[in-house]
Structure 1
Amino acid sequence: MTRRPPPLLTDGAVVAMALLDVWAHWDIDEPLRMACGLGAAVVLLLRRRQPVLTYLLTLPAVLLSDAVVACLAALYTLASLSRPRALLLLYVLAFAVSDTMSLPAPELDTTDTRKLIAFGYSAATAAAAVFLGQLVRTRRDLSLKLTEISEARDHQQLLTAQAVLAKERAQLAREMHDVVSHQVSLIAVRAGALQVGARDADTKDAAATIRRLSVQTLDELRHMVGVLRASGGHPTELTPQPALADIRRLADNCGIETRLRMELPEGLPATVQRAIYRTVQEALTNTRKHAPGATANIDLLHANGSVRVRITNTAPTQPPLPLPGAHHGLIGLRQRAELLGGTMTSGPTEDGGYEVCVVLPANLTG
């Protein structure tokens, strides 16, 4: 798209052309006419804000002198900003009459062929300025229409993409309901049967943990299915988000031996509390998967306006089970911490364990 020149530059060029027209018809013996021509050139600076007034103020220069560029420029601007064609025709006739007449002694003889030719020439000149202004206006309106059409097309493409996404989410919801939820339900049932039939206390405890976690996972899956199915419809009621008060229960029910030290102030933002909870949850999950038999230490401290979350586990006492995983847990924790303006580090410890440390700004709200 070609760039338009700045309005100030355009106005300066128009005024310069009008002044050049006055200079070409300069006559020192007719100061009134020359003053009208100069005044009309200066008045062009108002043509964008007051197009009708500018045209009326430049018309006397046509009537009293031969300087017509200023009035034609005003007429062009008026046509580019106005729609009523009847008024534009009236403006054209006014210009033609003023250009044909000669004050202070008007000479407009309808029987004089030369005067009629001059009138027609003046009317054609003014009509050309009007047609050019209308053409510019039509082009501007067309450009706006094209912009609206382009925006409407982009909006339609967005709606189409959202419809496709909603269809995919509905299909994913069906898959989760028909496959994943069914398998988790079987795990919960088998774990319950094992809990009832087992004689060993450790087996009963492990079966109870499996059953409890399976039921909790099943509830979360059902909620996720509801969220996916509600895509594009009414907002879905979200389950309560985890907070600091839920960390103690998380540590007690994680299936491994833990030690929790929590010294955090009141008034932490909900986003920070969720980040702390998810960090502890991910670290304990990794400990349970990759370091069977290990114990975990959870330290949640506040110092110097920051919250420090540190989870360490000892070396495993049993070989880890080959469980599937996408290996995105720690990456997600790092991204969550960075979004909140914090940092995350992780790595093995000297005693063969592992450490996850997240530092977040406290941003106390109360």
Structure 2
Amino acid sequence: MNERAGGGLRWAVDSALFGLAVLDAWLGFEPDWPFSTASVCVAVLALLLRRRYPYVTLALTLPTLAFSYAVVAVLIALYDVARHTRDRRVLALCSAVVAIGYAVPWPGKDDMVSAPSILVNVVYALMFGGAPAFLGQLVQARGDLSLQLKEINEARDHERELVAQTVLAKERAQLAREMHDVVSHQVSLIAVQAGVLQVSPPGPETKDIAATIRQLSVTTLDELRHMVTLLRVSGSVVTDLAPQPTLAVLPTLVANSGIEVTIEGLLHDDADAATQRAVYRTVQEALTNARKHAPGASATVQLWHNHSELGVTVTNASPTRPTLSLPSAQHGLIGLRERADLLNGTLTFGPTPDGGFRVHLCLPWHPAHFDSP
């Protein structure tokens, strides 16, 4: 639609300029001058070539300066040269030729020298040769600026799209971490308890294990529903992607871990929410992995802090029972490392010499004050 409108406007402008040149040729026609009719006809018809061959058009219109008073065709041709050329020297030469052609008293046009002074003729000649050139260059600059603005807008749109894609990727990564951290703990415990139930003989312990599985299933379902609700909330409401635990519920996590865990040390009270959440998720993932890959092993959770850093170290012993075959892609540990990187901290993990496994989280900490020892 825009191309069709642009073509129609271009056709209307060409028609108007051609009509103006014809009118000027008719008004300035002098049948007594030799070659007047031929030069005027050639100049007007040459305007049909002005968009494709501007230099040829200008050359064909120049004779009218010597044999006729019709000057509109020359002005239009010079304007087209100025609008298309990028060489200022060529444009200056064309403008000078037009100005000289206008100022020189050609045979049969001696009455043009009857001006009050030569200075006035020179000024008119300069204006005659300079005005179309300046107008053509102005239109060219406008087109260049429009093209640059279009490119800038396209670049900004592309940049906004890249930013949106980056934000979406970060949100997906965060959602993946939260989904793993929130659900993996309960689901892996359900799998472990179900495996125990499968090999346990009927009895009171079987009933307790079944009750544990039911409670874990209800808790997992509640957390999934909560996450789905948060994802459906309007973007105008500031919410987090998942429940945000703190260190206050760490004893509950340890008590429900299904393995023997010892907690050592404390963290300072002024640790921010993001730091507490990172510590909680690290303990949760480490205990989940210990339960999945080291059945029967005990674990130790060491909370520590000094004047510049804080963190947690979770160490589990070697397994004492056969390991159940459970799926694992180490996404949890990768997510914990990404979480630590976002907080300018580090996460290291690896096996211990006695066959166990250790996860160590270290985060920067800048308290407002220190308690005296």
Q: Hey, what does 1:123 align to over in structure 2?
A: 127
* Alignment of structure 1 residues 81-230 onto 2, 5 Å: 111-112=114-115, 115=118, 117-128=121-132, 130-147=134-151, 149-151=153-155, 154=158, 200-230=203-233
Shift in alpha-carbon separation, 1:150–1:364, aligned structure 2, 3 A: same
Give the match for residue 43 of structure 1: none
- Residue 259 of structure 1 and its aligned partner are, at CA, apart by 0.7
For 1:311 and 1:160, how far apart are their aligned partners in 2?
37
* Preserved contact between residue 227 and residue 243 of structure 2 (Cα < 8 Å): no
1:358 and 2:361 equivalent? yes
Distance 1:241 1:345 in 2: 23
* 2:310 paired with 1:307: yes
The alignment partner of 2:367 has SS state of coil
Structure 1 residue 138: deviation in Å?
Answer: 0.8
Q: Does 1:255 align with 2:258?
A: yes
**Residues 52-107 of structure 1, C-alpha deviation per residue, up to 9 Å, x if partnerless?**
xxxxxxxxxxxxxxxxxxxxxxxxxxxxxxxxxxxxxxxxxxxx9xxx9xxxxxxx
Cα shift readout 1:295-337 (whole Å, capped 9, x = no counterpart): 1111101124211311111121111110112222222222222
**Structure-2 separation of matches of 1:219 and 1:335:** 26
1:131 deviation in Å?
1.8
CA distance in 1, matches of 2:243, 2:353: 39
What is the CA–CA distance in structure 2 between the aligned matches of 1:201 and 1:320, rounded to whole Å? 25
- Contact residue 307 and residue 366 of structure 2 kept, 8 A: no
Cα offset for 1:155? 7.5
* TM-score, structure 2 as length reference: 0.53
Distance change in 2, residues 1:224/1:301 (3 Å): same
Equivalent residue number for residue 268 of structure 2: 265
Q: CA deviation at 1:342?
A: 2.0
Kindly tell me: are residues 151 and 122 of structure 1, through their superposed partners in 2, closer, same or farther at Cα, counting changes over 3 Å? same
Query: Which residue of 1 is the match for residue 57 of structure 2?
Result: none
- Deviation of residue 351 (structure 1)? 2.3
The residue identity in structure 1 corresponding to 2:308 is G
Report percent identity of matched pairs.
Answer: 45
Query: 1:263 is paired with a residue of what secondary structure?
Result: coil
User: 1:26 maps to what in 2?
Assistant: none
TM-score by length of 1: 0.54
CA distance in 1, matches of 2:159, 2:313: 46
Give the Å deviation of 1:113: 9.0
Letter in 2 for 1:124: F
Aligned length, in residue pairs: 236
Q: Is the 8 A contact 1:294 1:313 kept in 2?
A: yes
What per-residue deviation string (whole Å, max 9, x for no partner) do you get for residues 208-261 of structure 1? 33222222221222223234445x755474454111111111101111111111
Tell me the distance in 2 between the aligned counterparts of 1:155 and 1:284: 42
User: Once superposed, what is the RMSD of the aligned Cα atoms?
Assistant: 4.0
Q: What residue number does 1:347 align with?
A: 350
Supply the distance in 2 between the matched residues of 1:157 and 1:311 (Cα, whole angstroms).
Answer: 42
Q: Which runs of 5+ in 1 are unaligned?
A: 1-95, 101-108
- The CA deviation at 1:161 is 7.2
Q: CA deviation at 1:200?
A: 3.4
Unpaired segments of 5 or more residues in structure 2?
A: 1-98, 104-111
